[in-house]
Structure 1
Amino acid sequence: MKKNIFVIGLNAFNLDKLKRLRGAENYEFHGLIDPAKVYDTEIFDIPGMLAEAEEKLRAFDGSIDAIVGYMDFPVSTMLPILCGKFGVRTTSLESLLKCEHKFWSRVVQREVIPDHIPGFTAFDPFDDEALSRIGEAGLSFPFFVKPIKSSGSRLGFRIDNPEDFDHAIERLRADIGTIQEPFNFVLDQAEIPEEIRKVDGGFCMAEQVIGGRQCTVEGYVYNGEVVPYGVVDSIRYPQVLSFFYYMYPSRLPPNVQDKMGELTKKVMSHVGYDNSAFNIEFFWDEVQDRIWLLEINTRISQSHCDLFEKVDGISNQQVTVDLGLGQRPDMPSREGDYKVGAEFFYRVFFADATVTRAPTPEEIEAAAAKVPGTFIRPQAHEGMRLSELPEQDSYSYAIACIWMGASKQSTLLWGYERVLKYFNFEFTDIEE
Structure 2
Amino acid sequence: MDEKNIFVIGLDEANVPILESGPGAHRYRFHRLLTIEDLQGGEVSVADLIAKAEGVLDAFEGSIDAIVGYWDFPVSTLVPILSERYGTRSTSLESVVKCEHKYWSRLEQQKVIDEHPRFGRVDLEARDPRPPEGVRYPMWLKPALAYSSELAFSVKDEADFRAAVAEIREGIGRVGKPFEAILERLDLPPEMEGVGGQVCLAEEALSGVQVAVEGYVHHGEVTVYGVLDSIDYPDSPCFLRHQYPSTLPEPVIRRLHDVSRRVMRQIGMDGATFSIEYFYDPATDEINLLEINPRHSQSHAELFAYVDGVSNHHCMLSLALGEDPALPYRSGPYTMAAKWYYRWFADGVVHDTPVEEEIERIEREIPGVRIEVVPEKGQRLSQMAQQDSYSFELAHVFTGGDSEQDLRAKYDRCVAALSLIFDATAPDDATTPDGQEETETGTETETDAVTDTVTDAVTEMETQGG
The change in CA–CA distance for 1:150 and 1:20 in structure 2 (over 3 A counts) is same
The match for 2:37 is: 36
Contact 1:42 1:390 in 2 (8 A): no
1:37 is displaced (CA, Å) by 1.7
Counterpart check, 1:140 vs 2:139: no
1:190 is displaced (CA, Å) by 1.6
The change in CA–CA distance for 1:368 and 1:42 in structure 2 (over 3 A counts) is farther
1:247 is displaced (CA, Å) by 0.6
SS of the aligned residue for 1:130 comes to coil
The match for 1:221 is: 217
1:415 is displaced (CA, Å) by 1.3
The match for 1:186 is: 182
Counterpart check, 1:387 vs 2:382: yes
Please give the root-mean-square deviation of Cα atoms over the aligned residues, in Å. 1.5
Contact 2:115 2:289 in 1 (8 A): yes
1:424 is displaced (CA, Å) by 2.2
The match for 2:292 is: 296
SS of the aligned residue for 2:251 comes to helix
Distance of 1:75 and 1:67 partners within structure 2: 11
Which structure is higher in RCO with an 8 Å CA cutoff and minimum separation 6? 1
The match for 1:2 is: 3
Contact 2:39 2:49 in 1 (8 A): no
Distance of 2:253 and 2:32 partners within structure 1: 36
Equivalent of residue 336 in structure 2, options 332, 335, 340: 340
The match for 1:230 is: 226
The match for 1:64 is: 64
Distance of 1:35 and 1:118 partners within structure 2: 33
Distance of 2:244 and 2:39 partners within structure 1: 27
The match for 2:16 is: 15
Contact 1:117 1:294 in 2 (8 A): yes
The change in CA–CA distance for 1:128 and 1:370 in structure 2 (over 3 A counts) is farther
The match for 1:430 is: 425
1:412 is displaced (CA, Å) by 0.4
Count of residue correspondences: 426
Counterpart check, 1:49 vs 2:49: yes
The match for 2:96 is: 96
Residue identity in the other structure for 2:374: Q
Counterpart check, 1:326 vs 2:327: no
SS of the aligned residue for 2:418 comes to coil
Distance of 1:147 and 1:32 partners within structure 2: 27
Counterpart check, 1:117 vs 2:113: no
Shifted more, 95-104 versus 379-388: the winner is: 379-388
1:5-34 CA-to-partner distances (Å, cap 9, x unmatched) read: 111111222121111121112221111112
Residue identity in the other structure for 2:170: A
Contact 1:284 1:292 in 2 (8 A): yes
Residue identity in the other structure for 1:122: R
Distance of 2:379 and 2:126 partners within structure 1: 35
Residue identity in the other structure for 1:117: H
SS of the aligned residue for 1:72 comes to coil
SS of the aligned residue for 1:422 comes to helix
The change in CA–CA distance for 1:126 and 1:365 in structure 2 (over 3 A counts) is farther
1:17-69 CA-to-partner distances (Å, cap 9, x unmatched) read: 11112111222111111232225x35322211111111211222122111001
1:429 is displaced (CA, Å) by 5.9
TM-score scaled by length of structure 1: 0.95
Distance of 1:398 and 1:42 partners within structure 2: 20
The match for 2:430 is: none
1:141 is displaced (CA, Å) by 1.4
The match for 1:314 is: 310
TM-score scaled by length of structure 2: 0.88
Distance of 1:284 and 1:330 partners within structure 2: 27
The change in CA–CA distance for 1:126 and 1:362 in structure 2 (over 3 A counts) is farther
Contact 2:79 2:90 in 1 (8 A): yes
Shifted more, 119-128 versus 83-92: the winner is: 119-128
Shifted more, 146-155 versus 166-175: the winner is: 166-175
1:93 is displaced (CA, Å) by 0.8
Distance of 2:5 and 2:355 partners within structure 1: 36
Equivalent of residue 201 in structure 1, options 192, 197, 200: 197
Unaligned stretches of 5+ residues in structure 1: none
Aligned positions of 1:410-421 closer than 5 A: 410-421=405-416
The change in CA–CA distance for 1:414 and 1:148 in structure 2 (over 3 A counts) is same
1:121-174 CA-to-partner distances (Å, cap 9, x unmatched) read: 01233423222xx25x21121111100012311111110012211221222122
1:200 is displaced (CA, Å) by 1.6
SS of the aligned residue for 1:228 comes to strand
1:362 is displaced (CA, Å) by 3.8
Contact 2:397 2:414 in 1 (8 A): no
Contact 1:318 1:331 in 2 (8 A): yes
Distance of 1:327 and 1:367 partners within structure 2: 37
